[in-house]
Amino acid sequence: MNQSVVQLRGITKTYHIGREITVDALRGVDLDVNAAEFLAIMGPSGSGKSTLMNILGCLDVADAGTYVLAGENVGKLSDDKLAAIRNKHVGFVFQTFNLLSRLNAIENVELPLIYGGDRHQRRERALGALEQVGLGDRVHHRPSELSGGQQQRVAIARALLNDPSMILADEPTGNLDSRSSAEILSVFQRLNETGKTVVMVTHEPDVAAHCKRIVRMRDGIVARDELVPHPRRAEDEIAAGIGAAE
């Protein structure tokens, strides 16, 4: 039942800034994420949470340690192999949405399938994903014609498209008002209820309180790892007219 999605062991990462300054961003991180978890990674800036996020998303490679993602050791793969892993196993949601402004909603959602997957199902699957995030009626809108919350939902639909092992969200509510934030969190909670694994990086305790588990980073290591006894339900807050971050 508790199938492991992510298994990090002794992950370190050092950055060299200029010739003399080195920054130990990660100093031996061990972390396990099981299927259908909803996990928040928290920590002050400089704690290494962004670096951890990049490594989790296979955008970057650790200096040392092992990383097994969905049963595959992805520690030392080539750039192109990592791209294939990202395409298949990771769905990204960014703080700044990162949609392509000249494509409409459905074309943005289709993007992962351009780089892997069957062309003939593309339209249907993209449409399905958009409906799943409640944007079935905004299919042909450009990002500039959508609100921030809607744009983020398009980004979530894009992240869902290849049915990834994990959705990786980096401050997904950072650019949104409280109502839109609550909507996005409710989308994540619904997805999580259907069995999706969601890992979310945030520095807002109110947002993290919607997750089932919170991992706190400090100085490049996992400082605390705790379960949330009663996660807040975003849907209830929307119904009560309260924003998530209030």
Nearer to another protein, 81 or 224 (CB): 81
Strands 38-42 and 21-34: unpaired
Contact 174, 144 (CB under 8 A): no
- Closest approach, Cβ 63 to another protein, in A, equals 15
- Closest approach, Cβ 152 to another protein, in A, equals 14
Task: Give the E-state strand segments of 105-171 in sequence order.
Answer: 166-170
Strand partners, 217: 222
Query: Could you identify the residue written with the tokens 């992962």?
Result: 112
Nearer to another protein, 74 or 214 (CB): 74
Nearer to another protein, 83 or 127 (CB): 83
Residue 226 Ramachandran class (φ > 0 left, ψ -120 to 50 alpha, else beta): beta
- Closest approach, Cβ 162 to another protein, in A, equals 8
Nearer to another protein, 133 or 234 (CB): 133
For residue 236, what are its two tokens? 């209830």
- Closest approach, Cβ 235 to another protein, in A, equals 29
- Closest approach, Cβ 85 to another protein, in A, equals 8
Q: What does the binding site for another protein look like in residue numbers (CB under 8 A)? A: 54, 57, 59-60, 79-80, 83-84, 86-88, 92, 94, 98-100, 102-103, 111-112, 114-116, 119, 158, 162
Nearer to another protein, 13 or 213 (CB): 13
177 alpha carbon, distance to own chain's centre: 19
Enumerate residues 6+ apart whose C-beta is below 8 A from 166: 5, 6, 33, 56, 69, 70, 89, 90, 91, 197, 198, 199
